[in-house]
Structure 1
Amino acid sequence: MFRRSRRVALISALAATAVILSACSGSPQPAATSTGEVDPDATLHVGLVLEPTNLDIRHTSGAALEQILIDNIYEGLVTRTQDNEIEARLASDYSVSDDGLTYSFTLNDGVVFHDGSPLTSADVVASYEQVRTDETIQGNAEFASVSSITAPDEKTVEIVLSEPNQNFLFALTGPAGLVFKSGDTTDLQTAENGTGPFTLTRWNKGSTITFARSDAYWGEPAGVASVEFQYIPDFTAGVNAAIAGDVDVLTAVDPNLAPQLEDSGDFTLTTGRTTDKATLAFNNAKAPLDDVRVREALRLAIDHDALIEAAGAGTPLYGPIPELDPGYEDLSDVVSYDPERAKELLAEAGQEDLELTLTIPSFYGTTVPKVLISDFAKVGVTLDVDSVEFATWLEDVYTNHDYDLSYVLHVEPRDFGNFANPDYYFGYDNAEVQSLYAEALAEVDPDKSADLLAQAARIVSEDHAADWLYNGQTITAVAPIVTGFPEDSINSRINLAGVTVSSAE
Structure 2
Amino acid sequence: MKSYLSPVVALLGSAALLAVTACSAGAGSSSGSGSPGATQSLAIGLVAEPASLDFTTTDGAAIPQALLGNVYNGLVKQDESGKIVPDLAKSWTLSPDRKTYTFTLVDNAKFSNGQAFTADDAVFSIDRVKTSWTTSLKAAMDVVQSAKAVSPTQLQVTLAKPSNDWLFRMTTRIGAMFSKTGVDKLATEPVGTGPYTFGSWKRGDSIVLQRNDDYWGTKPHFGQVTLKYFKDPTALNNALLTGTINVIGTVQAPEALSQFTSNDKYQVIEGTTNGEVLLSFNNSRPVLKDIRVRQAIRAAIDHKALLDTCWAGRGKLIGSMVPPTDPWYEDLTSAAPYDLPKAKSLLQAAGATGKTLRLRLPTLPYATSCGQVVKSQLEQAGLKVQIDQLEFPAAWLTAVLKNADYDMSIIAHVEPRDLGAVFNAKYYTRYDDPTLQQALAAADAGDEATQVAEMKKAAKRLSDQAAADWLFLLPNLMVADKDLKGLPQNAITESLDLSTLSR
Class of the TM-score when normalised by the shorter of the 2 chains: 0.7 to 0.9
Q: Deviations over 1:80-125 (max 9, x none)?
A: 2234332110001012223332121100232223344432212212
Contact 1:48 1:231 in 2 (8 A): yes
Contact 1:79 1:89 in 2 (8 A): yes
Task: State the SS of the aligned residue for 2:453.
Answer: helix
Separation in structure 1 between the aligned mates of residue 137 and residue 373 of structure 2, nearest angstrom: 37
Separation in structure 2 between the aligned mates of residue 186 and residue 336 of structure 1, nearest angstrom: 51
The aligned amino acid for 2:42 is L
CA-CA distance at 1:392 after TM superposition = 7.5
Query: For residue 441 of structure 1, what is the aligned residue in structure 2?
Result: 444
1:496 aligns with 2:498: yes
Query: For residue 377 of structure 2, what is the aligned residue in structure 1?
Result: 375
* Stretch deviating more after TM superposition (200-209 or 469-478): 200-209
Q: Deviations over 1:139-180 (max 9, x none)?
A: 533222222110111111011122233221122122221222
Query: For residue 240 of structure 1, what is the aligned residue in structure 2?
Result: 238
* Stretch deviating more after TM superposition (173-182 or 219-228): 219-228
Q: Deviations over 1:325-382 (max 9, x none)?
A: 45321112312122234345455x2658443414213525653333233333444x13
Q: Which runs of 5+ in 2 are unaligned?
A: 1-14, 22-29
Alpha-carbon spacing, 1:366–1:44, altered in 2? closer, same or farther (3 Å):
closer
Query: For residue 40 of structure 1, what is the aligned residue in structure 2?
Result: 36
CA-CA distance at 1:222 after TM superposition = 1.9
Query: For residue 13 of structure 1, what is the aligned residue in structure 2?
Result: none
Query: For residue 70 of structure 2, what is the aligned residue in structure 1?
Result: 72
Separation in structure 2 between the aligned mates of residue 289 and residue 136 of structure 1, nearest angstrom: 28
Contact 2:198 2:209 in 1 (8 A): yes
Task: State the SS of the aligned residue for 1:328.
Answer: coil
Q: Which runs of 5+ in 1 are unaligned?
A: 1-15, 24-33
The aligned amino acid for 1:436 is A
Query: For residue 479 of structure 2, what is the aligned residue in structure 1?
Result: 477
Contact 1:420 1:437 in 2 (8 A): no
Alpha-carbon spacing, 1:47–1:352, altered in 2? closer, same or farther (3 Å):
closer
Separation in structure 1 between the aligned mates of residue 278 and residue 414 of structure 2, nearest angstrom: 10
- Flag as ranges the 4+ runs of structure 1 deviating above 6 A: 390-396
Separation in structure 2 between the aligned mates of residue 161 and residue 171 of structure 1, nearest angstrom: 13
Alpha-carbon spacing, 1:208–1:487, altered in 2? closer, same or farther (3 Å):
farther
Query: For residue 280 of structure 1, what is the aligned residue in structure 2?
Result: 279
Task: State the SS of the aligned residue for 2:255.
Answer: coil
TM-score, length-normalised on structure 2? 0.82
Alpha-carbon spacing, 1:383–1:160, altered in 2? closer, same or farther (3 Å):
same
* Stretch deviating more after TM superposition (145-154 or 281-290): 281-290
The aligned amino acid for 2:242 is A
Separation in structure 1 between the aligned mates of residue 427 and residue 55 of structure 2, nearest angstrom: 25
The aligned amino acid for 1:338 is D
Separation in structure 2 between the aligned mates of residue 35 and residue 183 of structure 1, nearest angstrom: 39
Separation in structure 1 between the aligned mates of residue 163 and residue 475 of structure 2, nearest angstrom: 29
Q: Deviations over 1:397-421 (max 9, x none)?
A: 6567675544333333222225763
Separation in structure 2 between the aligned mates of residue 84 and residue 463 of structure 1, nearest angstrom: 29
Separation in structure 2 between the aligned mates of residue 403 and residue 208 of structure 1, nearest angstrom: 31
Alpha-carbon spacing, 1:294–1:237, altered in 2? closer, same or farther (3 Å):
closer
Alpha-carbon spacing, 1:21–1:204, altered in 2? closer, same or farther (3 Å):
closer
User: How many residues were matched structurally?
Assistant: 472
User: Alpha carbon RMSD of aligned pairs, Å?
Assistant: 3.3
The aligned amino acid for 2:341 is E
Contact 2:320 2:459 in 1 (8 A): yes
Structure 1 segment 1-400 matched on structure 2, within 5 A: 20=18, 37-38=33-34, 40-41=36-37, 42-136=40-134, 140-184=138-182, 187-254=185-252, 255-262=254-261, 265-284=264-283, 288-312=287-311, 314-346=315-347, 349=349, 351=351, 353-361=353-361, 363-364=363-364, 366-379=368-381, 381-389=382-390
Separation in structure 1 between the aligned mates of residue 422 and residue 58 of structure 2, nearest angstrom: 25
Query: For residue 4 of structure 2, what is the aligned residue in structure 1?
Result: none
Contact 2:360 2:407 in 1 (8 A): no
Q: Percent identity?
A: 33
Separation in structure 2 between the aligned mates of residue 113 and residue 419 of structure 1, nearest angstrom: 33
Query: For residue 3 of structure 2, what is the aligned residue in structure 1?
Result: none
Alpha-carbon spacing, 1:305–1:102, altered in 2? closer, same or farther (3 Å):
same
Query: For residue 412 of structure 2, what is the aligned residue in structure 1?
Result: 409
Task: State the SS of the aligned residue for 2:222.
Answer: coil
Separation in structure 1 between the aligned mates of residue 135 and residue 345 of structure 2, nearest angstrom: 51
Q: Deviations over 1:288-335 (max 9, x none)?
A: 544434433332221100101111153212112222345321112312
The aligned amino acid for 2:118 is T
Separation in structure 2 between the aligned mates of residue 394 and residue 197 of structure 1, nearest angstrom: 30
Task: State the SS of the aligned residue for 2:456.
Answer: helix
The aligned amino acid for 2:237 is V
TM-score, length-normalised on structure 1? 0.82
1:460 aligns with 2:458: no
CA-CA distance at 1:230 after TM superposition = 2.7
* Stretch deviating more after TM superposition (358-367 or 213-222): 358-367
The aligned amino acid for 1:300 is A
Q: Deviations over 1:222-246 (max 9, x none)?
A: 2333333333332222223222323
